[in-house]
Structure 1
Amino acid sequence: MIDTIIFDFGNIFINLDPKATETSFAQLGLNNWSNDLVELNHLYEFGKIDEYKFITGIQKHIPNADLVAIRQAWNAQVADFPLKRLEFLQFIKAKYKLFLLSNADQTHIDHFEHKEGISFSRDFYSCFEKTYFSFDIAMRKPDERVFQLILNNHNIDPKTTLFIDDTPENIEGAQKAGLKTWLLNPVKEDVTQLFDFLETLDD
């Protein structure tokens, strides 16, 4: 019997459109997301550098672009957050212990909060016992330790805990920690179909 659920954020609650960022950066003159930029992104998601160092790090590859334009391009991938998903969370929060676990950076989270508004963001966060962002805890999925951190901090039994994510590598990390998992396909599935999935889990 599942009594605890740990959710990813992107493509589970808020929709993501990476191609929008690719297109925006291409318009600024950046056509290749190099290994240097991958590493820079990881450092930012780990909270090891601040937004200014991240944005200026990208600017080195497109020196003619200003910092505001680069931030806007980076945030272009943050799309809509369907209201039905928030309403679903509010419906189930009395039945389950809920946690949010996301590989995220401060820029994207700030943009989400500004875009959706203070009231919506507050209502969303209030559904969870605790939110875990990689830039706050200096750990990222799929590292097994990040799942163990949540289990230990809240005295959670992994056998009664479900982790929901749209990335296979993250699912594998959760499985190593002993959690039940749902690899959600955002093209075909929606988190509001949770109860349908739980029925298959109990079979």
Structure 2
Amino acid sequence: MIKAIIFDLWETLGTKNVGISKSLQDKFGIEKSSEFMHLYETSVQLNNWSSEKEMAINFLKEFNIEHNNENEEFIINLFREGIEKATMFIGMKELLLKLKENYKLGFISNTTVFEANVLNKWYIRDLFEIKSFSWELGIKKPNKEIFDITLQKLGVKPEETVFIDDGKKNILKAREYGLNGIVFKSVEQLNDELLKFNIKI
């Protein structure tokens, strides 16, 4: 029986409407690759930065990019734009409210300490019993430890849980760890997939 539902944040609950990684690649001439995404996430999403400036400097350092005011401000403004323009997918908040009536809700997100504030902007922070942030734990998906910590805090077993993420790689790993998984494509599709698990909506 399903007792808990865990969500990813970006491109699952909502979107930034800004291609941050692509903008960084275009600006600094970085080739798109899995190595880039790994280093990008590691450089900005695994620390509780005291300031946006500190985060920007670390990104530039990790990619061996010249540290100057222009580059620093570009990064800071890009992330601010992503937060400012971020929107929740239509119908998602209503779905969360319905699910909250019968299930424990949590989420696991690879994100920065600054971007995590969209939960307040969208007025959904209190809907989640457990919030596992990469910046807070120093671990990112699909590392098994971040799933284990989340399940332990929710007080549920892997087989009692559905994990929802737009990334197929993360879903495949979650299934390896024993969780049920749904690759998110749209709110409508998610509703249909949840019904297959006999989840009350």
Q: TM-score, normalised by structure 2?
A: 0.77
Q: Which amino acid is the alignment partner of residue 72 of structure 2?
A: L
1:126 aligns to what SS in structure 2?
helix
How many angstroms apart in 2 are the aligned matches of 1:67 and 1:17? 21
Match of 1:52 in 2: 53
Shift in Å, 1:84 = 2.6
With over 3 angstroms needed to count, the CA separation of the structure-2 counterparts of 1:2 and 1:105, relative to structure 1, is same
Question: Is the CA contact (8 Å cut-off) linking 1:142 and 1:170 kept in structure 2?
Answer: yes
Shift in Å, 1:36 = 7.6
Question: Is the CA contact (8 Å cut-off) linking 1:7 and 1:101 kept in structure 2?
Answer: yes
1:52-110 per-residue CA deviation (whole Å, 9 max, x = no partner) reads 33202345625361533321223444532235312221222111100011011113224
With over 3 angstroms needed to count, the CA separation of the structure-2 counterparts of 1:199 and 1:178, relative to structure 1, is same
Q: Which runs of 5+ in 2 are unaligned?
A: none
1:146 aligns to what SS in structure 2?
helix
How many angstroms apart in 2 are the aligned matches of 1:65 and 1:3? 49
- Which of 181, 192, 198 lines up with 1:196 in the alignment? 192
Q: Which runs of 5+ in 1 are unaligned?
A: none
The alignment of Structure 1 onto Structure 2 pairs a total of residues equal to 189
Match of 2:170 in 1: 170
With over 3 angstroms needed to count, the CA separation of the structure-2 counterparts of 1:43 and 1:67, relative to structure 1, is closer
Shift in Å, 1:163 = 0.2
Matches within 5 A, 1:99-114: 99-110=106-117, 112=118
How many angstroms apart in 2 are the aligned matches of 1:102 and 1:90? 20
The sequence identity of aligned pairs, in percent, is 22
**Alignment RMSD, CA only?**
2.9
